[in-house]
Structure 1
């Protein structure tokens, strides 16, 4: 099947990041990754947290509902550091590796010039996201006298193991699909978080990151649409199977890290296990995936992935779609 002109596939496909020169945070919002002065930070921490507690579902466990404010604050700091360390590694080792397949022609189809140009812009964005994630994580870790980037986040390990398991002739395809899933799974609810909820500088970088990621999500959805329309049926079937596995990886709970985080605030290993176990419950995990991956599944539907009955059945049996 020959690649089509993107304009003939769907006139909404433009493969751009909008007004990137003026809107991308790497271009016009530099220097916002420093914590407030100590006195100001101390004042903020009386009524704010390091990370939104509403996005830490384990805090709803009965063992945690009435914990001391200082313990809850430390848990939000641990979560923020882990989230930012994960982001740093994800952007460098995963997302930008995926973007390279677009920029340098690693795919089996022709890549439109405008797609390559936008991919280079996205590559630059991700490098900057890694930078400010690293800088904030480092400062919060120093504030608490702890180390960061000491262990590889579970999802990163699983993604790299997944890539290793894919046959060499399909690795470029797998990298593209990982980038697609990563960039379309966006915690849109984080955009509802206000500066009254979390430390001001943390709020700033989360907000800027998500604003960029909204553009990246649209771009990757268009890339996926174009790609899906231009590959053979056998590649489509393989891609659908890979996508299911990738989506599940991105929903994994990092049990080793979370156990360590809880134990660092005084919980026993048995208590930590009891707190984490509900998150591993299969129905709860499937529901979490369906909510988090809704934009990904919608982009797949739009591209026609579920027009094939085998793909539709594959995802239905996994619990990811209803029909």
Structure 2
């Protein structure tokens, strides 16, 4: 990409520049869904199916709130933590002015994604009467940061850049599948579609950024980066089950039933397969750039169950 191409595209197509505020209509009264049931692993569990319809409906609403709440926190506390470093020339990366300007554009995008995520939580909770549960992003962030602290204890800025490279090159089903489900609230489908459009450009930016970043690292540090990346991938993609347990308990299931539903809905083999599927583009990027060819690199990715 040349510097001019992303700038022109951003000015004309970025959601913050071209999309209106998405507003909830009267679709709740017509039975539109908060979230695609097929993307909620526990919704079809026998113990959940036995719940009254209004409690199952509330489970879908809380799943939406958690997805949007996580998005709002991740974009500002993880992605923008790194893009701020790139844009401000404090990342340790020798970045051109064009790259720094694009990082600022992504910073704006991510702030806007957080804004409309919270906005839709507020709109939907007010209209439905189903309140969002408090969500503590801290444990997830601590788990993610711990990976870099162990593998790159003296390279904090680099670890933060790698976090974002990983997350922005993952491909999950939500951004693709939610907008296609005509049974889901239009406001939800619209903001997910808006988000996906922006993320397509972010994916390209961070893929190119990693190639520059990798080329600038000395050989000993490359080996440590290669061993760090699999842990960052898994930490980014492993499901955060704390909100799931809290939502199931709020639906009226007791502790033993909650444990059964979670165990049955998130078996280790399925979780590993989901991680491999979502990380395939990131793993391909790292393979193409030679990450898996450094000593210990391929073994680290294989041990993390990321290779087929």
TM-score, normalisation: structure 2: 0.90
Counterpart position of 2:172:
187
Determine if the alignment matches structure 1 residue 73 to structure 2 residue 57: yes
Deviation at 1:128, TM superposition (A): 0.3
Residues 113-163 of structure 1: CA distance to partner in whole angstroms, max 9, x if unpaired?
221111111110000000000111122333335244453364234224445
- CA shift in 2, pair 1:54/1:65, >3 Å: same
Counterpart position of 1:84:
68
Distance 1:162 1:19 in 2: 35
Counterpart position of 2:21:
31
Deviation at 1:253, TM superposition (A): 2.1
Deviation at 1:226, TM superposition (A): 1.5
Distance 2:242 2:41 in 1: 16
Distance 2:215 2:8 in 1: 23
- For structure 1, which segment, 215-224 or 272-281, has the greater mean C-alpha deviation from structure 2 after superposition? 272-281
- For structure 1, which segment, 309-318 or 202-211, has the greater mean C-alpha deviation from structure 2 after superposition? 309-318
Counterpart position of 1:253:
239
Aligned residue among 278, 291, 294 for 2:280 = 294
Counterpart position of 1:316:
302
Deviation at 1:195, TM superposition (A): 5.2
- CA shift in 2, pair 1:303/1:17, >3 Å: farther
Residues 246-297 of structure 1: CA distance to partner in whole angstroms, max 9, x if unpaired?
1111122222211110111121121111011135533222111101111211
Distance 1:144 1:245 in 2: 39
Which residues in structure 2 correspond to 1:1-323 (within 5 Å)? 16=6, 19-32=9-22, 34-36=23-25, 40-44=26-30, 46=31, 48-65=32-49, 67-142=51-126, 143-152=128-137, 154-162=139-147, 169-188=154-173, 190-193=175-178, 194=180, 196-322=182-308
Deviation at 1:164, TM superposition (A): 5.6
Distance 2:7 2:148 in 1: 27
Residues 91-120 of structure 1: CA distance to partner in whole angstroms, max 9, x if unpaired?
111100011222122333411222111111
Structure 2 unaligned regions, length at least 5: none
Distance 2:130 2:264 in 1: 31
- CA shift in 2, pair 1:215/1:144, >3 Å: same
Q: Is the partner of 2:121 in helix, strand or coil?
A: helix
Structure 1 unaligned regions, length at least 5: 1-11
Distance 1:204 1:309 in 2: 45
**RMSD of aligned alpha carbons:** 2.3
Contact 2:59 2:251 in 1 (8 A): yes
Contact 1:109 1:231 in 2 (8 A): no
Give the paired residue count.
305
Contact 2:151 2:228 in 1 (8 A): no
- CA shift in 2, pair 1:100/1:316, >3 Å: same
- For structure 1, which segment, 198-207 or 137-146, has the greater mean C-alpha deviation from structure 2 after superposition? 137-146
Contact 1:85 1:148 in 2 (8 A): no
Contact 1:89 1:156 in 2 (8 A): no
Deviation at 1:30, TM superposition (A): 3.0
Contact 2:66 2:135 in 1 (8 A): no
- For structure 1, which segment, 51-60 or 128-137, has the greater mean C-alpha deviation from structure 2 after superposition? 51-60
TM-score, normalisation: structure 1: 0.86
